[in-house]
Amino acid sequence: MQTDSATASGASGYLLQIPVPAVGMFDIHRTAEVAEIGRETARRAVPAIRRALARRATWQGRLAVGGRRAFERFVVATRRSLP
């Protein structure tokens, strides 16, 4: 799993890359095989997705507890770190 550039736009921040074997448009008989590969890849990615969601929730929680002032400090720090 890797981060995706869509994070900045507010879309999903992760891209799950599924290793699909060479399957042609007319290989309909292999759909079960490809679906199983996708399911297994997703199962293995669940722990990493949960960790990422926990980090995001923790950061958002910190902002909520500190209120507006913490948010303003975050914005100022972010602007300073931009090129």
Give the start-to-end residue ranges of the domains of the chain: 2-81
Q: Could you tell me which of 23, 42, 48 has the C-alpha nearest to residue 33?
A: 23
3 φ, ψ (degrees, to nearest 5): -75, 155
* pLDDT tens column, 33-74: 988 988 999 899 999 888 887 777 676 666 666 666 777 777
What's the predicted TM-score (pTM) here? 0.51
